[in-house]
Amino acid sequence: MAETLIKGKCEALIIGGSAGSLDVLLEIFPSLSDNINFPIILVTHRKSGNDALLSDLLRSRTKLKVNEAEEKDKILPGHVYIAPADYHLLIEDDETFSLDYSEKINYSRPSIDVTFQSAAEVFGDKLVCVLLSGSNADGVAGLKTVNDLGGIVVIQNPNTAIMSYMPQQAVNHIKAGIILDASDMAEFINKLVK
Amino acid sequence: MISEAIDNEQIEMLLSDVLEAHGYDFLEYSHASIKRRIIRLYALDNFVSFAEFRYTVRTDKQYFKRFLEEITVNVTEMFRDPNFYKALRNDVLPVLGTYPFIRIWVAGCSTGEEAYSLAIVLKELNLFHKSLIYATDINPSVLEKAKQGIFPLNYLKGYSENYVKSGGIQDFSSYYTANYSHAKFDGTLSEKMIFSTHNLVSDHSFNEFQLIMCRNVLIYFDKDLQHKVFQLFDNSLEKLGYLALGSKESLDFWERSKAYKRVKTEKIWRKL
């Protein structure tokens, strides 16, 4: 199993999602272990102006520290970072964040592709990326890069996702992807702990 | 994917070429972002090899113009972050209105949307006649667009909504003439604007201002460069002048930040 392949070497977990992904996050977070020893970075499509809402929802469901990612922040283990609305979130070689207000990608800013690709170049085979429910194809190209550079790709089972299009595109394009139901995701993530 | 074929060393060599051949220094830009822009342009323009791309950037002046325009981010909006403009309208500009003359610097103005937004607020506060807006950018071609004040019509609905949310009191459409796919803004708005190239990395202070606006420019710079630019702004700002940054930018970690006081909750600081 891929869990055993990567167990103990996960240096960053990135979760991308669009329409229908909030429910999954709310299901995952209460079951996450307090011992998570890698950063968790969330990139979700949402309207600008609702930044505090998602942080608050998640904060009430986990003991991990939940914050919006700020530019130049050092990325720390055991912290949950949320990509701010209306900016692309990139990862620098020194494991800090950069923000970018360039053109939307896949009609999206933040774009999941941008963060996945940028993280893949920094974390290589020590990266785990999860793509959840959504109704456009953002994230799929990013997962391909993650896979090409040796990272682990996890895809929400399209059959049980609220919006199947995004995970289905990922399943179609990345054969090595691990397909999981939302209810199995927390356990998978907890097993990544060293 | 092409991105894997290009490593950090190649990006650095290209940027060193750019500095040597053209005098533009991008070496202190945030690496991940500029790398992504470069790789995107390289893929877009179908070069056969990175060496050819490098050679063209180095030697072809015409292509370099395109390079400069494409690797810098020129996405901007009118009345971006309406609450910010509300704070300008209610808390900052009325204070500056007590001065006989208002000098404003919009640094990194791109195609001018923020400068025009500011001009509209100044007009509505009856301060426009005694204001002067210096709008600068590293990139001469975006300044040409800024001078014209012509923006794509399909964005105007969003701009109009922003304007209303920011406390705008007029009919927004009274500021422009719509023509097929574009809106041309009232020519009187640019009468008080001076457009000029200025490179925040290498150029010096050129005047003293009561307000400096530099929004979503510093996010592209590394920390050291950000601090150098804060110093440049500090040298260019009168006592009790205001510095306005983008919604995710902050003065907090700069060594002289204690000499500035934050204005309410917006990213606006006043020099003490």
Domain spans of chain B? 3-71, 82-271
Question: Which residue from B36, B223, B246 is facing A90, i.e. has the nearest CB?
Answer: B36
Helix (H, G, I), strand (E, B) or coil at A96: strand
Chain B residues with at least one Cβ partner in A under 8 Å:
1, 3-4, 8, 30-33, 36-37, 73, 75, 216, 219-220, 223, 246, 248-250, 253
- Give the per-residue pLDDT at A149: 95
Burial per residue of B2-12, b for 16 or more beta-carbon CB atoms within 10 angstroms, e otherwise = ebeebeeebbe
Name the pLDDT band for B2 (thresholds 50, 70, 90): very low
Please indicate if any CB of chain B lies within 8 Å of the CB of A92: yes
Domain B82-271 homologous superfamily, CATH: Vaccinia Virus protein VP39 (3.40.50.150)
Task: From the candidates A79, A108, A138, A164, give the one annotated as an active-site residue.
Answer: A138
CA distance B73 to chain A (A): 6
- Give the per-residue pLDDT at A2: 55
- For B74, nearest residue in chain A (alpha carbons): A102
Please judge whether B73 and A114 are an interchain contact, meaning their C-beta atoms are less than 8 angstroms apart.
no
E strands within chain B? 102-107, 131-137, 150-152, 176-179, 182-185, 193-197, 209-214, 237-245, 260-262, 268-271
Instruction: Please say whether the beta carbons of A81 and A97 come within 8 A.
Output: yes
- Give the per-residue pLDDT at B1: 42
- For B223, nearest residue in chain A (alpha carbons): A72
Measure the CA–CA gap between B61 and B195, rounded to whole angstroms. Answer: 22
Could you report how far apart the first and last alpha carbons of chain A are, in Å?
16
Residues 6+ apart with CB under 8 A from B244: B84, B88, B92, B211, B212, B213, B214, B215, B266, B267, B268, B269
Please judge whether A100 and B223 are an interchain contact, meaning their C-beta atoms are less than 8 angstroms apart.
no
Kind and range of the H or E run holding B12 = helix B8-22
Mean pLDDT across the stretch B11-38? Answer: 96
CA distance B220 to chain A (A): 7
What percentage of chain B reaches a pLDDT higher than 70?
98
Question: Which residue from A71, A114, A148 is facing B4, i.e. has the nearest CB?
Answer: A148
CA distances from B155 to A112, A189, B43, B78, B160 (A): 24, 42, 28, 9, 9
Cis bond leading into B152, ω under 30°? Answer: no
Please judge whether A98 and B219 are an interchain contact, meaning their C-beta atoms are less than 8 angstroms apart.
yes
- Give the per-residue pLDDT at B18: 98
Encode pLDDT of B74-123 as tens digits. Answer: 999 999 999 999 999 999 999 999 999 999 999 999 999 999 999 999 99
Higher pLDDT, A158 or B180: A158
Measure the CA–CA gap between A4 and B19, rounded to whole angstroms. Answer: 48
Residues 6+ apart with CB under 8 A from B208: B103, B236, B237, B238, B241
H helices within A60-156, ranges in order? 112-123, 140-148
Instruction: Please say whether the beta carbons of B168 and B124 come within 8 A.
Output: yes
E strands within A18-145? 40-44, 65-68, 79-82, 88-91, 97-100, 127-131
Q: Is the pLDDT of residue A4 over 90?
A: no
Residue identified by tokens 């950069």 is: A98
Please judge whether A71 and B4 are an interchain contact, meaning their C-beta atoms are less than 8 angstroms apart.
no
Contacting residues of B for A71, CB less than 8 Å apart: 219, 248-249
- Give the per-residue pLDDT at B3: 45
- Give the per-residue pLDDT at A50: 63
- Give the per-residue pLDDT at A180: 97
Please indicate if any CB of chain B lies within 8 Å of the CB of A109: no
CA distances from B139 to B34, B41, B71, B182 (A): 15, 17, 11, 22
- Give the per-residue pLDDT at A6: 63
Kind and range of the H or E run holding A178 = strand A178-180
Mean pLDDT across the stretch B202-217? Answer: 97
**What CATH architecture does domain A2-191 belong to?**
3-Layer(aba) Sandwich (3.40)
> What's the full length of chain B, in residues?
272
Q: Among B189, B152, B154, B151, which Cα is nearest to B170's? A: B189
Please judge whether A100 and B1 are an interchain contact, meaning their C-beta atoms are less than 8 angstroms apart.
no
Q: Is A89 left (phi over 0), alpha (psi -120 to 50) or beta?
A: beta
Q: Is the pLDDT of residue B249 over 90?
A: yes
Higher pLDDT, B192 or A3: B192
Question: Which residue from A92, A99, A145 is facing B219, i.e. has the nearest CB?
Answer: A99
| 3-state class percentages of chain A: helix first, strand second, coil last, to nearest 5 | 35, 25, 40
ipTM exceeds 0.85, yes or no: yes
Instruction: Please say whether the beta carbons of B64 and B24 come within 8 A.
Output: no
Contacting residues of B for A87, CB less than 8 Å apart: 219, 248
Q: Is the pLDDT of residue A1 over 60?
A: no
State the pairing for strand pair B102-107/A40-44.
Answer: unpaired
Instruction: Please say whether the beta carbons of B50 and B87 come within 8 A.
Output: no
Residues 6+ apart with CB under 8 A from B89: B121, B124, B125, B166, B167
| Cβ pairs bridging A and B (under 8 Å) | 59
Measure the CA–CA gap between B111 and B116, rounded to whole angstroms. Answer: 10
Contacting residues of B for A149, CB less than 8 Å apart: 4
Average per-residue pLDDT for chain B: 95
Instruction: Please say whether the beta carbons of B261 and B272 come within 8 A.
Output: yes
Q: Is the pLDDT of residue B130 over 50?
A: yes
Q: Is the pLDDT of residue B264 over 90?
A: no
Least trusted range by pLDDT, from A53-57, A145-149, B23-27, B189-193: A53-57
CA distances from A174 to A74, B242, B245, B263 (A): 31, 51, 41, 49
- For A113, nearest residue in chain B (alpha carbons): B36
Name the pLDDT band for A8 (thresholds 50, 70, 90): confident
CA distance B97 to chain A (A): 31
Give the best residue of B2, B4, B33 to mutate against chain A (max A CB count within 10 A): B33
Q: What are phi and psi of A62, to 5 degrees?
A: -150, 155
Angle in degrees, CA B199, B219, A57, rounded to 5: 165
Q: Is the pLDDT of residue B4 over 70?
A: no
Measure the CA–CA gap between A19 and A161, rounded to whole angstroms. Answer: 10
Name the pLDDT band for B6 (thresholds 50, 70, 90): confident
Please judge whether B73 and A101 are an interchain contact, meaning their C-beta atoms are less than 8 angstroms apart.
yes
CA atoms within 13 A on the CB side of B207: 18
Domain ranges (residues) in chain A: 2-191
Contacting residues of B for A98, CB less than 8 Å apart: 30-33, 219-220
